[in-house]
Amino acid sequence: MGGLFMEQFALKGNVLYTPRKDELKTCPNAYVICREGICEGVYETLPEEFREIHVMDFGDSLIIPGMVDLHIHAPQYAFRGTGMDCELLDWLNTHTFPEEAKYANLDYASRAYGIFADHMRKSATTRAVIFGTIHREATLLLMDLMEGSGLVSYVGKVNMDRDSPDSLRETTEASAMETLAFIRASAEKNYQRTMPILTPRFIPSCSDSLLERLSEIRRAHDLPVQSHLSENPEEVALVKKLMPQAEFYGDGYDRFGLFGREAKTVMAHCVYSTEAEVERILKNGVWVAHCPNSNMNLASGIAPVRKYIDAGLRVGLGSDVAGGQSESIFRAITDAIQMSKIYWRYLDKTARPLTFSEGFYLATKGGGSFFGRVGSFEAGYEFDAVVLDDSSVVHPQELTLAERLERAVYLGLDGECIRAKFVRGVA
């Protein structure tokens, strides 16, 4: 991601994308055209008006939309893949909070976030919605680094004023003031692709007064919101106790205008959302960040994604590092499909398993909608593309393009096999 920008160009190769969840389009040896960062569509041959544009020929490679990660914790990246013998609340106290406390130290933050941003740059992810920590300065540093990574991202300074260890507990007032300072400072940076997002950690660590203050700040600055919702039964029970007046967990955010409607909002997990909560999510247009890897690792459960899709909810995928072990959204696709199969088998035989096409859709156009017209090669979409060279995977038989993509995702070829990546048309 050197920031190379060309007004218009075409990528040539095998183009695959999902304009609809049930339709995996496969276009062999096709041209996907970018003009000023926007996709002009996919063509078998170059149209007359584009005959002169620069063509990057990627031969037999696969060209797909960039992956969208709707939920990832940057400060947890350092301990991904460790401490997995825990459930959520235990895991937060034993592993997560002690690590997040370290980000008070800017040297540590610089080293750790540098590693994180470098991995995001190398990944197939082109868009991400990111949690920082409570620390304003470290989170601004994270924004600088994400800006440099080439991804388009939302980054949030976390708010926590109760039920947290001393080292990660702000006063209500400090939390609000630091959030305002964070918003101001990030505005002064004039980032091209990095935006602040309000980030109350979850209701257990935010008092009503803090949510009230964040609500005011949100209205004043028209910011989007990210948080956690109905991830774990004990967490849901704790929220009921802490905020008895809320009809359900999500209502706890909604009472403060932090749950969709005019506030663009993404909520991670939604494993235990009640019918009333699902209705509110739908009515308020809240995005659900489905994080199956994390939901397995923390023994949280399985979110009923089929039901959410059928009900018309906005659903995308999240890696949820470090509840999730990896930043790979390819992995999130297969985890989502696999968990939907287990859900179908044991919990609801009417909830048909996700297909590969549907999983891919969630990872691209599903989550992409949080960023606007993102996640597809239809004309008018922002031009996010990943080029995968799967030629290192030797095989004895012919494969269709759809099979090659399915294999690339199941085998996790979003590491060494990425040959190029474009975000809004910038390489």
- Of 404 and 421, which has the nearer Cβ to a second copy? 404
Angle, vertex CA 13, rays to CA 8 and CA 16, nearest 5: 95
Tell me if 158 contacts a second copy by CB under 8 A: no
Q: Segment 19-78, which members bind a second copy (CB under 8 A)? A: 78
**Other Cβ atoms closer than 10 A to 397:** 5
Tell me the two tokens of residue 159. Answer: 């708010």
Tell me if 296 contacts a second copy by CB under 8 A: yes
Least distance from a second copy to the Cβ atom of residue 72, Å: 16
- Of 150 and 324, which has the nearer Cβ to a second copy? 324
Among 126, 149, 334, 376, binds a second copy (CB under 8 A): 334
Tell me the two tokens of residue 89. Answer: 């609340």
Tell me the two tokens of residue 364. Answer: 């691209």
Whole-angstrom distance, CA of residue 355 vs CA of residue 414: 20
Residues 6+ apart with CB under 8 A from 333: 317, 356, 359, 360, 362, 363, 409
Tell me if 205 contacts a second copy by CB under 8 A: no
**How far from 404 is each of 15, 185, 298, 312, 407, CA to CA, in Å?**
12, 45, 32, 30, 5
Whole-angstrom distance, CA of residue 362 vs CA of residue 163: 34
What three-state secondary structure class fits 32?
Answer: strand
Whole-angstrom distance, CA of residue 160 vs CA of residue 143: 20
Tell me if 276 contacts a second copy by CB under 8 A: no
Q: Segment 336-355, which members bind a second copy (CB under 8 A)? A: 337-339, 341-342, 344-347, 353, 355
Least distance from a second copy to the Cβ atom of residue 240, Å: 19
- Of 374 and 405, which has the nearer Cβ to a second copy? 405
Tell me if 368 contacts a second copy by CB under 8 A: no
Tell me if 409 contacts a second copy by CB under 8 A: yes
Tell me if 102 contacts a second copy by CB under 8 A: yes
Looking at residue 365, what DSSP letter applies?
I
Least distance from a second copy to the Cβ atom of residue 124, Å: 16
Query: Bridge-partner residues for 127, per DSSP?
Result: 68, 152
Among 411, 418, 420, 427, binds a second copy (CB under 8 A): 411
**Other Cβ atoms closer than 10 A to 208:** 17
Tell me if 326 contacts a second copy by CB under 8 A: yes
**Which single residue is written with the structure tokens 């459960």?**
301
Among 41, 148, 285, 412, binds a second copy (CB under 8 A): 412
Tell me the two tokens of residue 103. Answer: 């980000």
Buried b (16+ CB within 10 A) or exposed e, 317-331: bbbbbbbbbbbbbbb
Q: What are phi and psi of 424, to 5 degrees?
A: 50, 35
Find out whether 335 and 327 touch, Cβ atoms under 8 Å.
no
Tell me if 396 contacts a second copy by CB under 8 A: yes
Among 235, 384, 406, 414, binds a second copy (CB under 8 A): 406
Among 196, 301, 316, 375, binds a second copy (CB under 8 A): 301
**How far from 179 is each of 96, 140, 228, 229, 303, CA to CA, in Å?**
21, 11, 18, 21, 31
Q: Segment 80-99, which members bind a second copy (CB under 8 A)? A: 80-85, 99
Least distance from a second copy to the Cβ atom of residue 346, Å: 6
Q: How many of the chain's residues bind a second copy (CB under 8 A)?
A: 50
Q: What are phi and psi of 8, to 5 degrees?
A: -145, 150
- Of 209 and 355, which has the nearer Cβ to a second copy? 355
Among 43, 108, 163, 419, binds a second copy (CB under 8 A): 108
Tell me if 167 contacts a second copy by CB under 8 A: no
Short-list 227, 209, 221, CA closest to 262: 221
Tell me if 398 contacts a second copy by CB under 8 A: no
Among 291, 302, 313, 374, binds a second copy (CB under 8 A): 302
Least distance from a second copy to the Cβ atom of residue 412, Å: 7
Contacts with a second copy by CB under 8 A lie at: 78-85, 99, 102, 108, 111-112, 115, 296-302, 325-326, 334, 337-339, 341-342, 344-347, 353, 355-356, 394-397, 399, 403, 406-412, 416
